[in-house]
Amino acid sequence: LFSLPLAIRATSFHPSSHGTAFLSDANKLALQIRGGDLGPVSGDTLAKTFGVLAIGDALGGTIRTTELYETFHITVEPGSSGEHYLGHGIASSAASLAVTSLLALTGKTSTEEAIGFGMLARSAYLSEMLLTGKYKKLGVPSVPHVIIFLILLVTAFGLLNGGNSDYVALAKVVSVVLAGHGALLFLNPRIDEDDNTKQMAKVDGGYMFVSSLFSALLAFGVDPVKAMGYAAIGCLPLFVTFIGLVADDAQVLGLNPDQWTIVIVLFIGLSAFGMLT
């Protein structure tokens, strides 16, 4: 979802150029909601939109991370822990969410296979941490990191090769554990860093929670569109935390952080309502 402002810029639409009319239009849009859809936009389309935005977040966290966040007036030092949290950390969760959601929503695979491919996407980023030794710099013990990596691989391959009930049960456990870990990192990042870096770690944890929550809901049999609706609700505190990293006087596409908070909260809230009703 952090790629949404960039997507808006790509369409040459500047909210600030519409003044108060823009917020008025948003209020009118809110009144157009009818069960299951957001005006003329179906819940299925809304859910797929979140999946596509997750692709943008994954690419942004993988390629030229520091330059990307300069667009948001967020300073990220190359090679720092902050770059890991806003780069590798977000990208791994975003890639997992994008792969899982789009496969499940388009019906290209079974739900079990969609979860499996999503876990493989996350495993790719974990393998990069293992190969480069990044986890040591972050103070992550080797044994737990390797164990999590292996469990993800076993679960993924089990789901992709028949997905019997044992592997589905394992997927439920793994997804719930990852969601719990993300929630704890979001609520209380116990790292020996400055407050700004802790805020970045909270964003990483929040994205992990949202991504893993979606997978967990699918594993428990929730419809993919509704699962994305619940995940979207989890994006609300995540985005507010992210906005907290932006300088108060910064202007992104002509809007300050407070104005962006209103725009994104409206977008996420209305989208979640459209997917859940």
C-alpha to C-alpha distance for 111 and 56, rounded to whole angstroms: 23
Model pLDDT for residues 28-71, shown as the tens digit of each residue: 444 344 445 556 788 999 999 999 999 999 998 888 888 888 88
Q: What is the DSSP letter of 17?
A: G
Mean pLDDT of 257-270: 91
Per this entry, what is the length of the chain?
277
**In the predicted model, is pLDDT for residue 113 greater than 80?**
yes
- Residues 2-11 have pLDDT tens digits of 555 555 555 4
Place of tokens 């997905």: 163
Between CA 81 and CA 219 the distance in angstroms is 32
Quote the CA–CA distance of 54 and 228 in Å, as a whole number. Answer: 12
**137-177 per-position pLDDT tens digit:** 666 667 877 889 999 999 999 999 986 888 999 999 999 99
Query: What sections of 107-133 are H helices per DSSP?
Result: 111-132
Share of the chain above pLDDT 90, in %: 55
Residues 219-240 have pLDDT tens digits of 999 999 999 999 999 999 999 9
**Average pLDDT for 80-89:** 89
pTM over 0.95: no
pLDDT-derived band at 27 (thresholds 50, 70, 90) equals very low
